[in-house]
């Protein structure tokens, strides 16, 4: 069914170059993906890929949060430098100069951190994409294995259902014949010996079953 598989062995390998051209959603955020495992147990490979993807998304979120936070801090220091400028250059206030120098150092540290954050963030999308594809591959191998088993069981059940239908028809036919036969016998003896004698025979042969 999937022409993106490279191998014909039981464990398939995706042609990821094909998948990379498609917009594959982040599986762990997809309700339909999560629904696949309501009745299917996740393999260790799926769990490993799932956890790796979760960690990458957490790291990306953490770095973005930090980037926003230090951006706010940088603005505060810049605003402070602007505020201190008259004190430093017009009034030659030494305390203001020290405070300005401190702000400049903090801004330098923030700028250096910006560079590192951006470097780390730059590589994360590719890692997320690759890990997501790994998770998709392990998912397909698992669910398709189960689907193959399901298909085999479905065929078995279809056979059993057909056999049960035939047996049921035979049982119904047999029940009808037995009931018809008993009715014919009962009617014959009713007409032959009468109701009261037939009632005696019923009690003698069937007791409380009649």
Dump pLDDT digits (tens) for 76-95.
999 999 999 999 898 899 99
Tokens standing for 87? 């004190």
pLDDT of residue 71: 97
Query: What's the pLDDT score for residue 8?
Result: 40
Percent over 70 (pLDDT), the chain: 88
pLDDT at 198: 78
pLDDT(130) > 50: yes
**What is the per-residue pLDDT for 208?**
61
Between residues 114 and 8, which one has the greater pLDDT? 114
- What does 157-197 look like in DSSP terms, one character per residue? HHHHHHHHHHHHHHHHHHHHHHHHHHHHHHHHHHHHH-HHH
Across residues 33-46, what is the average pLDDT? 92
Q: 163 — phi, psi (to 5°)?
A: -65, -40
Q: In this predicted structure, what is the pLDDT of residue 9?
A: 41
Q: How large is the average pLDDT for residues 116-137?
A: 94
pLDDT at 173 over 70: yes
**Highest mean pLDDT (candidates 88-97, 112-121, 188-197):** 112-121
Q: How far is CA 167 from CA 54, 160, 171, in A?
A: 54, 10, 6
Delimit the domains of the chain by residue range. 26-31+43-153, 165-209
pTM of the model: 0.67
Q: What is the mean pLDDT of residues 179-203?
A: 85
pLDDT on residue 202: 79
Angle at 53 between CA 52 and CA 57, to 5 degrees: 120
Question: What rounded mean pLDDT belongs to the chain?
Answer: 88
Q: What's the confidence (pLDDT) of residue 206?
A: 79
């Amino acid at each position: 069914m999937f022409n993106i598989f490279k191998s014909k062995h039981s464990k398939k390998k995706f042609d990821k170059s094909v998948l990379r051209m498609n917009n594959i959603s982040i599986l762990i955020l997809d309700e339909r993906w999560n629904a696949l495992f309501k009745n299917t147990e996740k393999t260790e490979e799926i769990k490993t890929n799932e956890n790796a993807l979760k960690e990458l998304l957490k790291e990306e979120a953490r770095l973005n949060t930090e980037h926003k936070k230090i951006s706010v801090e940088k603005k505060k220091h810049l605003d402070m430098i602007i505020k201190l400028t008259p004190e430093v250059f017009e009034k030659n206030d030494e305390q203001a100069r020290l405070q300005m120098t401190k702000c400049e150092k903090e801004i330098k540290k923030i700028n250096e951190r910006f560079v590192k954050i951006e470097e780390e963030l730059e590589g994360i999308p590719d890692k997320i994409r690759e890990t997501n594809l790994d998770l998709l591959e392990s998912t397909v191998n698992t669910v398709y294995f189960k689907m193959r088993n399901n298909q085999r069981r479905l065929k078995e059940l279809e056979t059993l259902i057909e056999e049960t239908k035939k047996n049921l028809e035979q049982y119904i036919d047999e029940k009808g014949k037995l009931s018809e036969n008993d009715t014919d016998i009962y009617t014959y003896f009713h007409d032959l010996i009468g109701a009261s004698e037939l009632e005696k025979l019923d009690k003698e042969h069937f007791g409380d079953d009649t």
